[in-house]
A and B are shown apart, each in its own frame.
Chain A
Amino acid sequence: MPIECLVLGAGQEVGKSCVVVSINGKRIMFDCGMHMGYADSNRYPDFSRISDAGDFNSALSCVIITHFHLDHIGALPYFTQVLGYKGPVYMTYPTKALAPIMLEDYRKNMDRRGEEEQFTSQHIEECMKRVIAVDLKQTVQVDKDLQIRAYYAGHVLGAAMFYAKVGDAAIVYTGDYNTIADRHLGAAQIERLQLDLLITESTYANSVRDSKYNREGEFLKAVHKCVAAGGKVLIPTFALGRAQEICLLLEDYWERMNLKVPIYFSAGLTIQANMYYKMLVNWTSQKVKETYVTHNAFDFKHVQTFDRSLINAPGPCVLFATPGMLSGGYSLEVFMQWAPCEGNLVTLPGYCVVGTIGYKLMSGKPTRINLDKDTQIDVRCQVHQLSFSAHTDAKGIMDLVKFLSPKNAILVHGEKPKMAILKERIESELGIPCFYPANNETVSISSTGHVKAHASDTFIQRCLSPNFKFLKCGVPDKSASGSKCTEGISRLQVVDERVADSILVEQKCKKAKVIHQDELLLMLGEKEHEVKFAYCCPIRIEKSVQTGSKDLSSTDNQHLGLDKRSLLELLSVKLSNKLSEGNIQDFGEHLQIESFHVSVCLKDKCSHRTSNSIENQSELVFFCCNWSVADEKLAWNIISIMECCTLNTT
């Protein structure tokens, strides 16, 4: 059965991630995001493509949300509360805890921009109540056939890649991930899985990033310079994620440099967010985790709450304000006040959506920004671009694809030209078919199936008994990118020749059965009829002087009895020199190699000699050979050696 992948969002773009995958009769929606760049119906995925009738409950088996970013969860309250999807929704514990803050923050800002409200606070609350929280690696049985599992993705707190398996078909959808650990999160981590399809983000499909520490250093220098000169630093961020990461960075720096300049958070909202981070410290990086007993890293010492009266208060400060990208709301309000002053600094994230003030500031160095037709902002302050990203780069994506080695790959969450380049690389370097569909396109791929059969005990015993050998599959890919991929599942492999001793029997209306060939005859009620080959092979003899002119083929039994042995030994030596395969066993009367059986033939007339007109018989000795069908090739190989060789008797 093919796997069908309908891309409803983040196809050849970043924003409103939403992919609907059909596997073996199950249909899973991965992410339900919104697009920050649109204010019209384009901001949500086109859900009507899932079900014309709007019957999402029967059309979908479940919804899985990878992390709390709005481009992955922004449309969820709308989908569940307005469009009425009632089925299960899965996300990790941190995502369930933090998503309402993001959604509420967005909803409020949406109000301020005077846009039509798409969902209410109550919608968010009711939507979140229905969410089923999952732990990392927890194997969740959605129903009898559908199994899902989350893997650590880095990126933001609680971000996860999701594995889904129905019957024999399995896929992974990454969401956003980071293969490099940062100040507060670990690197993405997944185990080797057998996948038919990997759907991966490709934000940085074509770039390789330099050291994050340099960037952090530059950022701290810029901030320090500004506050030292009495300036104010504005850091527009979303409530969660980057805010905590930068705050950890500043806390650490403030401590080291013994700075006293106040750090403000714009609303109680974000301070509340730190409370969540404290309880979810297990989901952060190893370093942060280890210190939680003595000091929870999210207990920020230097952070205070901000209120409006402080906007124009004298003296330096650092302010975290929502939303990020200066798309409106509080951060924009403060920006309008601080931007005209040269001594101030505004830091912007590496990625700003088209249409936001942040985007305008970053493209070129404008001195004046038109907010709307009546409002203009003079920009004289410093602008620092914070280019540390929480996304993996091209190398990280390649490493992950290589490590998981799926049968197919689909790229989403990226820019079309860059995706095209990455697709090329994945196909040419890794030999994995790769697609990057546009929104509302469907990619169909075939999936592996299995034939299920009963296995007889004899089969299992014969195949498993002595020849166990461990096959460590999956050399851990500890590449420079630092992506930690755990060792794959160990497999036991059984030498294959014995598999060939077994038969798959299919009867009508019965489950197929695998049996050992010895059991087959019993089952059929037939008697074995052995088919063998035989050949009495002549070999030339070269007599040395010492033995005189005694004829070897004479009937002097006593003499020949001795020589029969030595002839076999001579043959054994010859064969072992020339034969590359098989193991020569000497049984005294005969030699045996697999089923090939050879002994000295002293008969005058042997039925296995085909030619009776051999001249000069005195220089020949006959070796009677027989073998079974299985060793046909080996046997003729041996015979050709025997026919060409000469035995030197001493």
Chain B
Amino acid sequence: MEFTCLSKGDGFHFPPCSMLNLCGFRILLDCPIDFSALTIFSPVPPAFSGRFDVESSQTEPVVRKRQRIEKQLDANDLIFEEPWYKTVKSLHLWDASFIDIVLISSPMGMLGLPFLTRSKGFAAKVYATEATSRIGQLLMEDLVSMHMEFRQFYGPKDSGCPQWMRWEELQVLPSALKEIALGKDCEELGAWMPLYSAADVKDCTRRVQTLKYAEEACYNGTLIIKPFSSGLEIGACNWTISCPQGNTACISNSIFGSSHAMEFDYDALQGNDLLVYSDFSSLKTMEDAENNTNNFGPVTGTSSNLREEDNHWQEAAATLLKNDGTSEEAEKLAFICTCSIDSVKAGGSVLIAIDRLGILLQLLEQLSIFLESSTLSVDLDHVPVYIISSVAEKLLAYMNIIPEWLCKQRQEKLFSGEPLFGHVKLMKERKIQVFSAVHSPELLKNWQEPCIVFSPHWSLRLGAVVHLLRRWCSDQNSLLVLESGLDANMALLPFKPMEMKILQCSFTSGIGLQKVQPLLKTLQPKSLLFPKDLRCPIKFSESNKIYLYHENEMLCIPRMNHSTEIEIVTDLAYTFKVKSWKQESMSRLRGELFMEHGKYRLLSGSKTANSQQQRLLLHWGSPDLEKLLTELSKKGIDGSIKQVNGGAIDGAEPENPATTLLVHHPSKALIEVREACTVITAADENLASQISDAMDSVLGGI
């Protein structure tokens, strides 16, 4: 088995990406886009913003003067061209046609997939859960539609390398931008891609084989692939892959308790031969918290403290889910709501640029409760909530028909006949209004301020959010709610001077460090692949093997189980002729070998009917000639031993003497016996066969 972590990713929107070689099959885990890199581009300049036009003083932004002196970044430093999108660098070092399988764990992990599926020779089988595939498709469609604005603004471009990618242009980029464009090691330019088309998206989703929760997919009869919920997002999953060489579980970013998506199903990942742990989400928190501590690898623990811990691990595992952080999350949501209400009260509008579906759905529910219960102002009940996105309507409708992927509390709603999410009712009451674009006539007709707007894209470079930011950026009563993982300074450059209040929120996007150890103890994998960068105790058993990996280093892991198992259908096994030799009993196999559902199986095949061929094919030992004579005479065959030098008859070397047995009756035959070989000469098939039978009884054979 081989494993390469191609990218650690970064948070919720940029999940890790890795390549796994299992049983000779190359498996790619996820194919994301790094949207945080999009901030080096300027959003569509304001002249194009239609109704939300704000006077701008920018002139000739595309011309950039060569400058050596680093000064404070400003909006003019950004790249004024149609953006390209940054994918996982190392993925492009692989030939797409060599990939056998792509496993998509979440809608975010799917966004870069069209880059792959449109590349030449790509023929891999792509698996994703039904919900991931559907949500992923909508997000990609939205991306294409938001990007259209750039196309319209910059006009059709020739297919060549864009201006900004030229060396001389890159050289004059401010260092902050250059680092994003080229990467720290200046080798990431190849990771930039022009965006895919709507047709690419269509083709990409067509190729995805969708799976239900815990549905088994059988690849090539050899691998059995199953998705189990990871809790990260609706439809997001971890994978188990079984093959004759053992069972593997792959954990990517997972959340124990969720208020919308089905919980992290870690029980289903128990007891595998290999666990690939690639949840890097705590890396961020670690960096923040331990910037001043020394760098160590994961702590593997001494055996003394381990024993002590062992007594408690079961308890620890039991508390895993209880302390799932949902209450913490709820507090954050409540805080956002409170801040929003405050802004609205002050006459400002609220722009929420959060693209996490779960957070969005919960915010919609919470906000309406806050707006209704706020008694201070009568007007608040009439503050409109707008959702502006080309796919919002479809997404929201879809959210209400996939109870199978929701958390327990939401499923209860199904069983009691209530809508799964609050937005259904709110939309009916027109408390939430959904519009496909910021320029849509219905929106203009209904537009009312102050208001609360949910709109993509969280990078602040695409979508309606750009236009609304331009409109409100100088209003100090308005509020902008951002996601963490975004360099706010860079992201807000085009909207400076920024007077709006800004609230940047981080939400759980993976397994907390303190939960890693109890989780591993619960899962008890025989071997563990763990990121070297995560510094946390991971010793969980004496006998288990731990391999630490680094980004872009291939790790070879010895075969997991030492013996392959084969199943022989009992009916067939009964037909085997059993021979005994000393302690062993043995039989020659018959039938047909199948690789079926990840198992080797011997089934009685069509050709098995030919059972008459029962001659022993392999012999050992040395024949006792006297015994052979007796066996022959039992069959009515008479002969006599004639000790001769082998050379006298057929010119063989004297060192290899043959003992010859001459058969006189029923007809003439000759048996030459040497140390490792006996040759039977007979002109008659029947006689030859009888002699051979006699040989079988004086030699070991099968």
Interface residue ranges, A against B (CB under 8 Å): 93, 96-97, 100, 128, 133, 135-141, 168, 272, 275-276, 278-282, 292-293, 296, 448-455, 457, 459-460, 463-464, 471, 489-494, 496, 498-500, 502-508, 514, 517, 520-521, 524, 526-536, 603, 606-608, 610-611, 626, 629-630, 632-633, 636, 639
Tell whether A492 pairs with B595 under 8 Å between CB atoms, given A611-B683, A629-B615: yes
Q: Which one of A293, A448, A471, A517 contacts B393 once the chains associate, using CB atoms below 8 Å?
A: A293
A610 near B615 with CB under 8 A, answer no
B404 near A93 with CB under 8 A, answer yes
- Tell which of A96, A168, A279 has the most Cβ of chain B within 10 Å: A279
B590 near A500 with CB under 8 A, answer yes
Smallest CB separation, A609 vs chain B (Å): 8
Chain A residues whose CB sits within 8 angstroms of the CB of B401 once the complex forms: 278-282, 292
A139 near B214 with CB under 8 A, answer yes
* CB of B169 closer than 8 Å to a CB of A: no
Chain B residues whose CB sits within 8 angstroms of the CB of A630 once the complex forms: 615, 617
A520 near B618 with CB under 8 A, answer yes
Chain A residues whose CB sits within 8 angstroms of the CB of B581 once the complex forms: 524
Smallest CB separation, A489 vs chain B (Å): 5
Smallest CB separation, A54 vs chain B (Å): 29
Tell me the chain B residues, 213-231 only, with Cβ under 8 Å from chain A: 213-216, 218, 220-222, 226
Chain B residues whose CB sits within 8 angstroms of the CB of A463 once the complex forms: 593
Chain A residues whose CB sits within 8 angstroms of the CB of B567 once the complex forms: 168, 450-453
Q: Which one of B221, B573, B588, B699 contacts A531 once the chains associate, using CB atoms below 8 Å?
A: B699
Smallest CB separation, A460 vs chain B (Å): 6
Tell me the chain B residues, 560-576 only, with Cβ under 8 Å from chain A: 563-571, 573, 576
Chain A residues whose CB sits within 8 angstroms of the CB of B590 once the complex forms: 496, 499-500
* CB of B62 closer than 8 Å to a CB of A: no
Smallest CB separation, A538 vs chain B (Å): 10
Binary contact readout B583-623 vs A (1 if CB under 8 angstroms, 0 otherwise): 11111111111111100111001011000010111111111
Chain A facing B: main interface SS: mixed
Tell whether A499 pairs with B602 under 8 Å between CB atoms, given A97-B414, A138-B214: yes
Contact segment of B299-307, B437-445, B545-553, B662-670 = B662-670
Tell whether A450 pairs with B568 under 8 Å between CB atoms, given A492-B595, A493-B592, A610-B670: yes
Q: Which one of A133, A471, A532 contacts B678 once the chains associate, using CB atoms below 8 Å?
A: A532
Q: Which one of A93, A96, A608 contacts B670 once the chains associate, using CB atoms below 8 Å?
A: A608
A603 to B652, CA, bound (A): 14
* CB of B650 closer than 8 Å to a CB of A: yes
Interface residue ranges, B against A (CB under 8 Å): 211-216, 218, 220-222, 226, 268, 393-394, 397-398, 400-404, 411, 414-415, 417-420, 563-571, 573, 576, 581-597, 600-602, 605, 607-608, 613, 615-623, 649-650, 667-670, 672, 676-683, 685, 688-689, 692, 695, 699-700, 702
* Given A449-B570, A504-B588, A506-B586, 20 more pairs with CB closer than 8 A: A139-B214, A139-B215, A278-B401, A450-B601, A451-B567, A451-B568, A453-B568, A464-B595, A490-B218, A492-B220, A492-B221, A503-B702, A520-B586, A530-B676, A530-B678, A533-B679, A534-B679, A535-B681, A535-B683, A632-B615
Chain B residues whose CB sits within 8 angstroms of the CB of A93 once the complex forms: 403-404, 411, 414
Q: Which one of A133, A451, A455, A531 contacts B600 once the chains associate, using CB atoms below 8 Å?
A: A455
- Tell which of B419, B670, B685 has the most Cβ of chain A within 10 Å: B685
A460 near B397 with CB under 8 A, answer no
B616: nearest residue on chain A (CB-CB)?
A629
Tell whether A457 pairs with B620 under 8 Å between CB atoms, given A502-B588, A503-B702, A505-B584: no
A174 to B393, CA, bound (A): 38
A395 to B582, CA, bound (A): 58
B617 near A491 with CB under 8 A, answer no
Smallest CB separation, B491 vs chain A (Å): 32
A528 to B678, CA, bound (A): 11
A-B contact pairs, 10 of them (CB 8 A): A278-B401, A293-B397, A450-B601, A493-B594, A504-B588, A517-B618, A531-B699, A533-B692, A632-B688, A636-B685
A637: nearest residue on chain B (CB-CB)?
B685
Q: Which one of A450, A498, A534, A603 contacts B569 once the chains associate, using CB atoms below 8 Å?
A: A450
B570 near A533 with CB under 8 A, answer no
Chain B residues whose CB sits within 8 angstroms of the CB of A506 once the complex forms: 584-586
Chain B residues whose CB sits within 8 angstroms of the CB of A491 once the complex forms: 221, 594-596
Chain A residues whose CB sits within 8 angstroms of the CB of B570 once the complex forms: 448-451
Smallest CB separation, B123 vs chain A (Å): 16
A502 to B137, CA, bound (A): 50
8 smallest beta-carbon distances between A and B, as pairs? A526-B620, A492-B595, A449-B570, A450-B567, A455-B566, A137-B215, A454-B563, A494-B593
Chain B residues whose CB sits within 8 angstroms of the CB of A296 once the complex forms: 397
A640: nearest residue on chain B (CB-CB)?
B685
- Tell which of B569, B617, B621, B682 has the most Cβ of chain A within 10 Å: B617
A135 near B212 with CB under 8 A, answer yes
A626 to B676, CA, bound (A): 16
A455 to B566, CA, bound (A): 6
Smallest CB separation, A368 vs chain B (Å): 41
Smallest CB separation, A509 vs chain B (Å): 11
Tell whether A504 pairs with B214 under 8 Å between CB atoms, given A97-B415, A279-B419, A517-B617: no
- Tell which of A93, A96, A278, A610 has the most Cβ of chain B within 10 Å: A610
Smallest CB separation, B587 vs chain A (Å): 5
Smallest CB separation, B669 vs chain A (Å): 6
A93 to B618, CA, bound (A): 59
B699 near A529 with CB under 8 A, answer yes
A529 near B678 with CB under 8 A, answer yes
Chain A residues whose CB sits within 8 angstroms of the CB of B226 once the complex forms: 139
- Tell which of A136, A137, A282, A503 has the most Cβ of chain B within 10 Å: A503
B589 near A500 with CB under 8 A, answer yes
B578: nearest residue on chain A (CB-CB)?
A506
Chain B residues whose CB sits within 8 angstroms of the CB of A493 once the complex forms: 592-594
Chain B residues whose CB sits within 8 angstroms of the CB of A453 once the complex forms: 565-568
Tell whether A528 pairs with B593 under 8 Å between CB atoms, given A535-B681, A608-B670: no
- Tell which of B566, B596, B608, B679 has the most Cβ of chain A within 10 Å: B566
Q: Which one of B212, B222, B393, B571 contacts A138 once the chains associate, using CB atoms below 8 Å?
A: B212
Chain B residues whose CB sits within 8 angstroms of the CB of A499 once the complex forms: 589-593, 602
A292 to B585, CA, bound (A): 65
Tell whether A528 pairs with B676 under 8 Å between CB atoms, given A138-B214, A490-B221: yes
B594 near A632 with CB under 8 A, answer no
Chain B residues whose CB sits within 8 angstroms of the CB of A514 once the complex forms: 566, 589
Tell whether A502 pairs with B215 under 8 Å between CB atoms, given A457-B564, A491-B594, A529-B677: no
B699 near A455 with CB under 8 A, answer no
Smallest CB separation, B688 vs chain A (Å): 6
A520 near B702 with CB under 8 A, answer yes
Tell whether A607 pairs with B571 under 8 Å between CB atoms, given A500-B588, A517-B617: no
A505 to B418, CA, bound (A): 62
Chain A residues whose CB sits within 8 angstroms of the CB of B214 once the complex forms: 135, 138-140
Smallest CB separation, A279 vs chain B (Å): 6
Chain A residues whose CB sits within 8 angstroms of the CB of B393 once the complex forms: 293
B683: nearest residue on chain A (CB-CB)?
A610
Chain A residues whose CB sits within 8 angstroms of the CB of B689 once the complex forms: 632
Q: Which one of B212, B417, B622, B681 contacts A534 once the chains associate, using CB atoms below 8 Å?
A: B681
A136 near B617 with CB under 8 A, answer no
B680 near A532 with CB under 8 A, answer yes
A138 near B215 with CB under 8 A, answer yes
A275 to B428, CA, bound (A): 14
Q: Which one of A279, A457, A521, A633 contacts B403 once the chains associate, using CB atoms below 8 Å?
A: A279
A292 to B134, CA, bound (A): 14
B621 near A526 with CB under 8 A, answer yes
Tell whether A279 pairs with B420 under 8 Å between CB atoms, given A128-B415, A293-B393, A528-B620: yes
A533 near B593 with CB under 8 A, answer no
Q: Which one of B414, B583, B670 contacts A507 once the chains associate, using CB atoms below 8 Å?
A: B583
B215 near A626 with CB under 8 A, answer no
Chain B residues whose CB sits within 8 angstroms of the CB of A508 once the complex forms: 583
Q: Which one of B600, B676, B692 contacts A460 once the chains associate, using CB atoms below 8 Å?
A: B600
